[in-house]
Amino acid sequence: TQRLAGRVAVITGGASGIGLATARRFAAEGAKVVIGDLDPTAGQAAAEEVGGLFVQVNVAEEDQVDALFATANDTYGSVDIAFNNAGISPADDDSIETTELPAWQKVQDVNLKSVYLCSRAALRYMVPQQRGSIINTASFVAVLGSATSQISYTASKGGVLAMTRELGVQFARQGIRVNALCPGPVNTPLLQELFAKDPERAQRRLVHIPVGRFAEPEELAAAVAFLASDDSSFMTGSTFLVDGGISSA
């Protein structure tokens, strides 16, 4: 289907994992895709593959985020979809006893401040046209807790959920929807790196997933395409769990 025909979509973290799968899915559904990512090599390759544009950006930097959305608008004439998805997970122990303030701050900057900056930039283009869909990547841990003492990561994703609710309500009458994607564990480089350092963690995690496996990035991309499209026209401010049943177990 071409549910996103003619729509302009900005995807942060679009060079890898969930973002890359979503870039492919958006393009297949007819969108013009702008990938914003820290990684120029993978980002450029992804943009070429989907026939879109790559902008190198650190999502924690105000000027760079503003430039990303301005470039999308200048190149394609609007910003209709913002998938605020770039994020990091601390590879080392993230418990409150061991996490140092700089590490905590970096996670808040990349995972939470970025969603504020990207939403603000997207709204500059969406409010005048009274149309838009913003999707923020949180995590199932924002709803349930991580069960592995990830203090900075869980806090950042909880902030993303709260901000999504605020924005969803504030812009509901203006044709702009804001929803949060809450993935369960997804088979991406982010997860693979975590589990490479601690293989037992993968097994422990698997036990708690009713469907008995990790998600593939394409399964998240399908959910994001739904949230981006008019098929989800009555959804805003929502916490959209795509978690293999974890939250019900």
Interface map 18-57 toward ligand NAD (x if CB under 6 A): xx-----------------xxx-----------------x
26 and 96 Cβ atoms separated by less than 8 Å: no
Candidates 76, 116, 125, 153; catalytic one: 153
Which of 127, 128, 8, 139 shows the shortest CA–CA distance to 73? 8
Q: Is 110 an interacting residue with respect to ligand NAD (CB under 6 A)?
A: yes
Q: Is 227 an interacting residue with respect to ligand NAD (CB under 6 A)?
A: no
Tokens of 75: 């190149």
| Partners of 81 in the β-ladder | 9, 133
Annotated catalytic residue 76: no
**Helix (H), strand (E) at residue 215:** none
- Compute the chain's Rg from CA coordinates: 17
CB of 6 to ligand NAD, least distance (A): 26
Cβ-based nearer residue to ligand NAD, 212 or 234: 212
For strands 53-56 and 81-84, give the pairing.
Answer: unpaired
Interface map 130-149 toward ligand NAD (x if CB under 6 A): -------x-x----------
Cβ-based nearer residue to ligand NAD, 36 or 237: 36
Which of 147, 129, 141, 45 shows the shortest CA–CA distance to 82? 129
Q: Is 186 an interacting residue with respect to ligand NAD (CB under 6 A)?
A: yes
- Look at the alpha carbons of 205, 194, 158, 22 in this order and tell me if their dihedral is positive or negative: negative
> Which residues are part of the catalytic machinery?
153
Q: Which residues bind to ligand NAD, rule: CB under 6 A? A: 12-13, 15-19, 37-39, 57-60, 85-89, 110, 137, 139, 183, 185-186, 188-191
